[in-house]
Chains A and B, each alone.
Chain A
Amino acid sequence: RKEVEQDPGPFNVPEGATVAFNCTYSNSASQSFFWYRQDCRKEPKLLMSVYSSGNEDGRFTAQLNRASQYISLLIRDSKLSDSATYLCVVTPYTNAGKSTFGDGTTLTVKP
């Protein structure tokens, strides 16, 4: 079993749709959680950190459930520019340390 598992995807949605990605992690000692976005043949870029209290950034909402070891990302009102691969990332230490990546879930938003 992988340490970080994501929805296999791909997700193909029309503009304006709401889409949710799920991620589970197996290491209960994990401390920090992130969603990264990776465009085709580009480097991963931080989309948002994920906190137990949940956090929202515009159309994006991230949730963390430590008891279930589950992370989610909700994208509302999808735009064409949201098309990318979304990576769930888990880190065991608060400040530094190696990150474990999920395989990524690919989203394509169509007109």
Chain B
Amino acid sequence: EAGVTQFPSHSVIEKGQTVTLRCDPISGHDNLYWYRRVMGKEIKFLLHFVKESKQDESGMPNNRFLAERTGGTYSTLKVQPAELEDSGVYFCASSQFSGKGQDTEAFFGQGTRLTVV
């Protein structure tokens, strides 16, 4: 079974440009999360989709970041315009509701390393 896949694996863009990151969750996983790790900091939550709906976007840093999950399948995270401080590794994760009140494992993609120069 395919895991969580992210594209691209690396992206180098200039300040002011636009970049779109894509995440394909594990098939059938309703929960999709975006996280990022900037240099020297811990991994931080950005937002959470349940199917196509944004459940929690409290971690989005500002309105330059736009996440979508049309149709409840793959998700995109667009940064427009990119700033230097946006550099970091962006992780996507997905999980499935267990329906039994138990913990569900979140599977992470390998991340997109974004460098803004």
Nearest CB to that of B40 among chain A residues? Answer: A103
- With A44-B108, A45-B108, A46-B106 already in contact, the answer to whether A96 and B97 are too (CB < 8 A) is yes
Asked if residues A102 and B91 are in contact (CB atoms below 8 Å), the reply is no
Question: Which of the residues A44, A96, A103 comes within 8 Å of B91, measured between beta carbons?
Answer: A44
Question: Which of the residues B43, B102, B106 comes within 8 Å of A94, measured between beta carbons?
Answer: B102
- With A43-B91, A43-B109, A43-B110 already in contact, the answer to whether A102 and B103 are too (CB < 8 A) is no
Nearest CB to that of A88 among chain B residues? Answer: B42
A14 CB to closest chain B CB (Å) equals 28
- Contacting A at CB under 8 A, from B95-111, are 95, 97-98, 101-111
B39 CB to closest chain A CB (Å) equals 12
Asked if residues A95 and B106 are in contact (CB atoms below 8 Å), the reply is no
Asked if residues B111 and A98 are in contact (CB atoms below 8 Å), the reply is no
Nearest CB to that of A99 among chain B residues? Answer: B45
What class of interface size applies to chain A in its complex with B? 20 to 34
Encoded as 1 (CB less than 8 Å from any A CB) or 0, chain B from 26 to 63 comes to 00000101010000011111001010000110110000
Asked if residues B33 and A2 are in contact (CB atoms below 8 Å), the reply is no
- Contacting B at CB under 8 A, from A52-111, are 87, 91, 94-104
Question: Which of the residues B35, B42, B106, B111 comes within 8 Å of A2, measured between beta carbons?
Answer: B42
Asked if residues B98 and A98 are in contact (CB atoms below 8 Å), the reply is no
B43 CB to closest chain A CB (Å) equals 4
Asked if residues B45 and A98 are in contact (CB atoms below 8 Å), the reply is yes
Q: When chains A and B are docked, how far (Å) is the Cα of A41 from the Cα of B44?
A: 17
B71 CB to closest chain A CB (Å) equals 19
- Ordered by A's residue number, 7 sampled pairs between the chains whose C-beta atoms are within 8 Å are A2-B42, A43-B4, A46-B107, A94-B102, A95-B104, A97-B55, A102-B42
A contacts, CB < 8 Å to B: 2, 4, 32, 34, 42-46, 49, 87, 91, 94-104
